Structure 1
Amino acid sequence: MEQRIAGTKAKGAVSVGRQERVSLTLVWDLTDAPSLSRAQGLVSPVVACGPHGASFLKPCTLTFKHCAQQPSQARTYSSNTALLDAKAWKPLGRPGDHTSRDECRIHLSHFSLYTCVLEAPAGREARKWLQLAVFCSPLAPGQSHLQLRVYFLNNTPCALQWAVTNEQPHGGRLRGPCQLFDFTGARGDQYLKLKYISEGWENVDDSSCQLVPHLHIWHGKCPFRSFCFRRKAANENEDCSALTNEIIVTMHTFQDGLETKYMEILRFQASEEESWAAPPPVTQPPPCNRLPPELFEQLQMLLEPNSITGNDWRRLASHLGLCGMKIRFMSCQRSPAAAILELFEEQNGSLQELHYLMTVMERLDCASVIQNYLNGTQSGSPPRLRAGAQENQGLELDEKL
Structure 2
Amino acid sequence: MMESKNCTEGLCARTLAPGMGVAVYTGLVVALLLSVVMALCVGVLAYRRRCRHLHGDITDSSSALTAAFHPGNYKPPRQDNPLHPSAPPDLTATAGTFRGPLFSLPQGVNDSPHKIPMTNSPLLDPLPSLKIKVYNSSTLSSLELPADVSLSDGEILSLKSVGTVGRERDYHSHTMSREPGLSTSATLGNLGGRLTIPNTGVSLLVPPGTIPQGKFYEMYLIINKWEKTTLPSEGSQTVLSPVVSCGPSGMLLNRPVVLTLPHCTQLDTPTPDWTLTLKTQTHQGAWEEVLTVGEETLSSPCYLQLEEECCHVLMEQLGTYGLVGQSCPPRPACKRLQLALFAPRAPCLSLDFSLRIYCIHDTPHALKEVLDLERSLGGVLLEDPKPLLFKDSYHNLRLSIHDIPHTYWRSKLLAKYQEIPFYHIWSGSQRPLHCTFSLERASLAVSQLACKICVRQVEGEGQIFQLHTDIQETLLPHSPLPSGSPCLPSSQVGPYAFRLPDSIRQKICASLDAPSARGCDWRLLARSLGFDRYLNYFATKPSPTGVLLDLWEACHQGDADLVSLATALEEMGKSEVLVVMTTDGDC
Indicate the TM-score class for this superposition, using the shorter chain for normalisation: 0.5 to 0.7
Among 487, 501, 504, the residue aligned to 1:286 = 487
Q: What whole-Å deviation, never above 9, does each CA across 1:157-211 have from its counterpart, x for those lacking one?
A: 1111221222233211222100000100123111001122245222122224111
Check whether the contact 1:131–1:178 (CA below 8 A) recurs between aligned residues.
Answer: yes
- SS of aligned partner of 2:329: coil
Matches within 5 A, 1:174-323: 174-198=381-405, 200-220=408-428, 221-222=430-431, 223-233=433-443, 241=445, 244-258=446-460, 262-272=461-471, 274-277=473-476, 286-287=487-488
Among 308, 318, 321, the residue aligned to 1:101 = 308
**TM-score for both structures, normalised by structure 1:** 0.64
Distance 1:38 1:150, change over 3 A: farther
Give the letter aligned to residue 229 of structure 2: D
Distance 1:278 1:130, change over 3 A: closer
Give the letter aligned to residue 345 of structure 2: P
Distance 1:215 1:53, change over 3 A: farther
* Cross-structure match for 1:66: 263
Q: Aligned partners of 1:13, 1:213: CA distance in 2, in Å?
A: 46
Check whether the contact 1:118–1:126 (CA below 8 A) recurs between aligned residues.
Answer: no
Give the letter aligned to residue 9 of structure 1: V
Q: CA deviation at 1:130?
A: 0.4
Q: Aligned partners of 1:31, 1:213: CA distance in 2, in Å?
A: 23
Structure 1 residue ranges (4+ consecutive) displaced by more than 6 angstroms after TM superposition: none
Check whether the contact 1:48–1:113 (CA below 8 A) recurs between aligned residues.
Answer: yes
Give the letter aligned to residue 215 of structure 1: Y
- SS of aligned partner of 2:353: strand
Distance 1:75 1:54, change over 3 A: farther
Q: CA deviation at 1:94?
A: 1.9
Check whether the contact 2:383–2:478 (CA below 8 A) recurs between aligned residues.
Answer: no
Matches within 5 A, 1:20-35: 20-30=217-227, 32-35=229-232
* Cross-structure match for 1:81: 282
Q: Aligned partners of 2:584, 2:452: CA distance in 1, in Å?
A: 52
Q: Aligned partners of 1:126, 1:227: CA distance in 2, in Å?
A: 30
Q: CA deviation at 1:58?
A: 1.2
Q: What whole-Å deviation, never above 9, does each CA across 1:91-111 have from its counterpart, x for those lacking one?
A: 222235622222121112111
Greater per-residue strand proportion: 1
Matches within 5 A, 1:309-348: none
Check whether the contact 2:347–2:474 (CA below 8 A) recurs between aligned residues.
Answer: no
* Cross-structure match for 1:51: 248
- SS of aligned partner of 1:197: coil
- SS of aligned partner of 1:176: coil
Check whether the contact 1:2–1:285 (CA below 8 A) recurs between aligned residues.
Answer: no
> In the comparison of the two structures, how many residue pairs are matched?
292
Distance 1:31 1:217, change over 3 A: farther
Check whether the contact 1:76–1:114 (CA below 8 A) recurs between aligned residues.
Answer: no
Check whether the contact 1:75–1:119 (CA below 8 A) recurs between aligned residues.
Answer: yes
Give the letter aligned to residue 487 of structure 2: P
Check whether the contact 1:139–1:271 (CA below 8 A) recurs between aligned residues.
Answer: no
Quick check: 46-55 or 214-223, which moved more?
46-55
Matches within 5 A, 1:127-166: 127-140=334-347, 142-166=349-373
Q: Which has the larger radius of gyration?
A: 2
* Cross-structure match for 2:206: 9
Q: CA deviation at 1:139?
A: 5.0
Q: CA deviation at 1:24?
A: 1.1
Distance 1:219 1:233, change over 3 A: same
Q: Aligned partners of 1:126, 1:68: CA distance in 2, in Å?
A: 9
Q: Aligned partners of 1:74, 1:100: CA distance in 2, in Å?
A: 15
Distance 1:182 1:80, change over 3 A: closer
**TM-score for both structures, normalised by structure 2:** 0.45
Q: CA deviation at 1:269?
A: 3.2
Structure with larger RCO (C-alpha < 8 A, sep 6+): 1
* Cross-structure match for 1:391: none
Q: Aligned partners of 1:122, 1:31: CA distance in 2, in Å?
A: 33
Q: CA deviation at 1:56?
A: 1.4
Q: Aligned partners of 1:80, 1:37: CA distance in 2, in Å?
A: 15
Q: What whole-Å deviation, never above 9, does each CA across 1:189-237 have from its counterpart, x for those lacking one?
A: 1100112224522212222411101011111222111101111138xxx
Distance 1:38 1:269, change over 3 A: farther
Q: What whole-Å deviation, never above 9, does each CA across 1:116-144 have from its counterpart, x for those lacking one?
A: 11222232311111010111112515332
Q: Aligned partners of 2:329, 2:248: CA distance in 1, in Å?
A: 38
Q: What percent of counterpart residues are identical?
A: 21
Give the letter aligned to residue 453 of structure 2: M
Q: Aligned partners of 1:21, 1:125: CA distance in 2, in Å?
A: 43
Give the letter aligned to residue 353 of structure 2: L
Q: CA deviation at 1:266?
A: 1.9
* Cross-structure match for 1:111: 318
Distance 1:273 1:382, change over 3 A: farther
